[in-house]
Chain A
Amino acid sequence: MATATLEKKTSITQTLSDIAEAVERIKNDAPQQFPEAASIGDAVRQGDIYIQLISESDLDTMKYLYNRVDTPVLQLAPGNTKGSRHVLESADGVEMYLPADTDEAVMRYVFAKHGEKLPAKRTNGQFGWSGQYFDERKEVEAALTLAGPIVRLTKPNAVTHPEHGDWKLPCGTYRIVFQRTVDEQERIRRVLD
C-alpha cells in the first residue's frame, strides 16, 4: 500500500514536472499562419477559442441561425476580461455573421429544414404546439450557445490576443467555436478566463 501511494505520488509529481518542462522548452507566442493549404474542417486553437475553416456554401445552409451584421464587432469572444480579448486585427474585408440568440430563430431553422411552416402564434405570443421537433431544437440551441461568429474574409486578417500568439488568416470563411468545460454542478459551459 505504501508502495502504491509512493508510486501514485511519483506519477503525479513526475507528470507535473514533465508538463512544465515540455512547455518551457517550446514556449512561444510568436504569430503563426493558418495553413493556406488547409482543408475544410481544419482548425486552430487560440487559448479558449477555435477558428475553423468552413465552406462558403455552409452559410447558405444556416439561414435563420446566423444573421449578418453591418458593422463587424472585432472582438470574437464575449466578455470584458483580458482572456476574452480575441480580436480581429482589422475590419477591412470582413463580413460577420452572428449566431441568432432567440428560440424563434432555431424553430424557424428546424421547421424550414423539415419543409414545414412555423406553427402560428397563439394570442399569448407562444407558438402553437411548440413541442414539435423538441429534441432537435434543443440540440441546435445547445450547439449555438458555444458557437461564436462566422467571419468571411475577403482580405487576409489576423486574430490577436494580449497573451496567446496571433493567428494570421488567409481569405476564407471561418467559424469561431468556444472551448467548453464542465462546472461543479455538472453543467456544460464555455471556458471562462
Chain B
Amino acid sequence: MARLTQKQKTTVVKVISRWAHTFAGTRPVNMDRIAKLIACAYKGQTYVERTYVGKGEKRKIKRRNRLVGMPTIHEVKSPIAFDIAQAVCRGYLSKSAAENICKQFGMDTSFIANLRRDTLLTIGQRYSRYNWSTSPLLSMWKATIAPAVSDAIRVALDPPDRWSSRNDDDERKTPKRFTASFDVPKMPQNINTYYLQNNTYSQLTQIRQEVRGANALRIIGNFYYNDPANPDLGRLTHVPWSSNADNAMHDRHELADVWGERNNYMDAEILCHLMSVTDLNQTWAYELMHEASNVMTFNRHVLVLADRPTIRTNADGELHCEDGPAVTWADGAKQYYVSGHALGLLGKKIVETPEALTLRDIRDEPNEEIKRLAIEKYGWNRYLAEIGATVLDRRENYVDNTVEALVSIPDNISRRSWDHTRRDYVVNEIRIEKRKLILACRSTGRQYFLAVPDDVRTCEEGQRWMANGANSEHVPAFTRTMRLVGAS
C-alpha cells in the first residue's frame, strides 16, 4: 500500500470531516445550490422518446434521442413523502390514493398536487462525463491510496458494527494505531446508530426488499400510521423496485457507502480534490449528496429530499422520547422511539395514548420488544387477567437466576380441515389453549411474553423448544441439544 504524503492526508481529513458534518446534519438546506447541481446533472442528458408510427400490423416504434431540459424540482419533507411521491411519478399510485395515505400518516398533502407521471431517467453515463465507476483512474486509485483512504473513512465515521478487517495488512487491522498517525476527526457519538435508526429512504426500500412473505403493511420504516388495513397503503408497499428505479435513485447513505468495500463518493471527492477538479459539471454527483439525502431523477421532474427531522435523544444519544415522537419531519410524519427502539405502528399508542391500546394491538404485534412495551403500558396484571391467563408451571431458572412462568391462554382460532362428506375444505372455529412463557431478562430486568407450541407443558420444555430451532437429525452437527451454561 502506498504511503500518503502530507498534502494527501490533509485532503483526506478535510473531505472526511465534510462528510462527517453531512451525516451529522449540521449543514443547512440550500435549495438554490441543489437546483444548480441538478442543472449540472441534467446538462446534456438525453432520453429516448418513443413514438408509434403506423397502424395495425405495420405499427412501428420510432425512437429518437431528445435532450432533457431543466427539470421541475419537487421538494419533499420526509422519507415517507418521498416514497409516496416516487410511486405517483412512476404511475403506481393515483394522487387521490396518495392523499389518502398522507392522511394516514398525519402529513401535509400539498406536495402531491404538482406531481406528474414521468419516466425514470438514469444520469451520469455519458462518455464525455467523468464517470467514477468506469474511469481508467479507478485501477490506479485502487492500487495506491484507496485502501488507506477507506480505512481512514471507517475509523473516522466509526461504524463498528459492520467494519470488517482485511487480512493482508496489519495496519488495517489496528484502527486505533492508524487513527493516531492519521489525525482523523472524531464523529459525534452514535452517528451511525442515528443514521440507521433514522430510516432514510434507503432503509425503507432495503427493508422492503429484505422481507419476504411478511406483512408488508408493517414495513414502512418506523412511521406511525392510523389504519393498517387501508388499501391505498397496501398499494404503496407493493410498488416494485426496478433496476431503472435503482439507477435513477441517488441516496446519500448508499452512495457514501461507509461500510462497503467498493469505491464510493468520498473516494471520488478526495480524488477530485487531489487533482484540483472543481468544475461542478464533474463534481455534481457527490456535491449533490452533501446537499440532499435522496434524489430521484425523471425526464422532466426530479424529487428531492433535503430536509432533516427534529430529533430527541436520551443521555446515551439514542433516539428517545417518552411523551411524543422522537423524530418529527416538517410535513408531519412522525416516528416514535424509546431508548433507541423503534416503535413503528404502535408508537403513538404506546407513547402518547396508552389508554387506546387494545388486546388485539398487543396480540398482533410481531416485535417482542414493542409488545413488551405495550404490555407494560397496558399493565401486566390487567393484560393477563383480561386474556384469561392461568399459570400452568413456574420455576426458578438456575441458568438465568430468574423466575419464569408458563401460562395458558384460551383462544378461538380458525382451522381449515377436509370434510369428507362435503368433499371440500371447511373452516371451523376451535378452542385451543395457547401457551406463553413469561420470562425476565437478567441484563435489563425486562419481562417478555413469548409464545411456545400448544403441547408444551413446563417452563423447561418451553425453554428447550425455543433453543433448539436449528436442530435436525439429518445434520450430525445439528443433533446436539442446546445445553445452556449461562445467559445474559
Contact = CB atoms under 8 A, between A and B. Distances in A.
Contacts of B196: 80
A16 interface: yes
A177 B469 contact: yes
Contacts of B485: 35, 38, 42-44
A132 interface: no
B442 A65 contact: no
A138 to B, nearest CB: 10
B227 interface: no
B340 A82 contact: yes
B475 A146 contact: no
A78 B466 CA distance: 18
A91 B484 contact: no
B402 A22 contact: yes
Contacts of B161: 74-75, 85, 87
A13 interface: yes
Nearest to B199: A80
Contact of B443 (A28, A35, A91, A192): A28
B63 interface: no
Contacts of B207: 80
Nearest to A75: B161
A113 interface: yes
Contacts of B447: 16, 19-20, 23
A19 B441 contact: no
A71 B477 contact: no
Given A23-B445, A50-B467, A58-B477, A182 B483 contact: no
Nearest to A66: B477
Interface in A97-139: 109-110, 113, 136, 139
Interface in A1-58: 8-9, 11-13, 15-16, 18-24, 26-29, 32, 34-35, 38-48, 50, 52, 54-55, 58
- Interface SS, B side: mixed
A29 B441 CA distance: 10
Contacts of A58: 476-477
B315 to A, nearest CB: 14
Contacts of B444: 27, 29, 163-164
A180 B394 CA distance: 20
Given A41-B480, A52-B482, A54-B477, A164 B488 contact: yes
A18 B470 contact: no
Contacts of A71: 164-166, 261
B127 to A, nearest CB: 33
A151 B143 CA distance: 31
A140 B440 contact: no
B391 interface: yes
B136 interface: no
Contacts of A22: 396, 401-403, 440
Interface residues of B, number: 80
A136 B430 CA distance: 31
B164 A44 contact: no
Interface residues of A, number: 89
B173 interface: yes
A75 to B, nearest CB: 5
Contact of A12 (B385, B401, B469, B487): B385
A73 interface: yes
Nearest to A85: B161
B389 interface: yes
B404 interface: yes
A186 B416 CA distance: 13
B408 to A, nearest CB: 11
B243 to A, nearest CB: 21
B192 to A, nearest CB: 11
B366 interface: yes
Given A43-B482, A87-B160, A80 B203 contact: yes
B341 interface: yes
A165 B488 contact: yes
Q: Rank and list the top 6 A-B pairs by shortest CB-CB distance, nearest first.
A: A165-B488, A58-B477, A180-B469, A146-B469, A23-B440, A143-B472
Interface of B: 160-166, 173, 193, 196-197, 203, 206-207, 210, 261, 318, 339-342, 363-364, 366-369, 380-381, 384-385, 389-391, 394, 396, 399, 401-405, 407, 413, 438-445, 447, 450-453, 465-478, 480-488
26 contacts: A13-B381, A15-B394, A15-B403, A26-B401, A27-B444, A29-B443, A39-B483, A41-B480, A41-B483, A45-B484, A45-B487, A46-B488, A62-B475, A62-B477, A74-B162, A81-B341, A81-B367, A82-B340, A91-B163, A91-B173, A143-B470, A143-B475, A175-B470, A177-B468, A178-B470, A192-B368
Given A44-B485, A44-B486, 10 more contacts: A15-B394, A16-B438, A19-B447, A23-B440, A28-B442, A74-B162, A74-B164, A140-B472, A142-B472, A175-B470
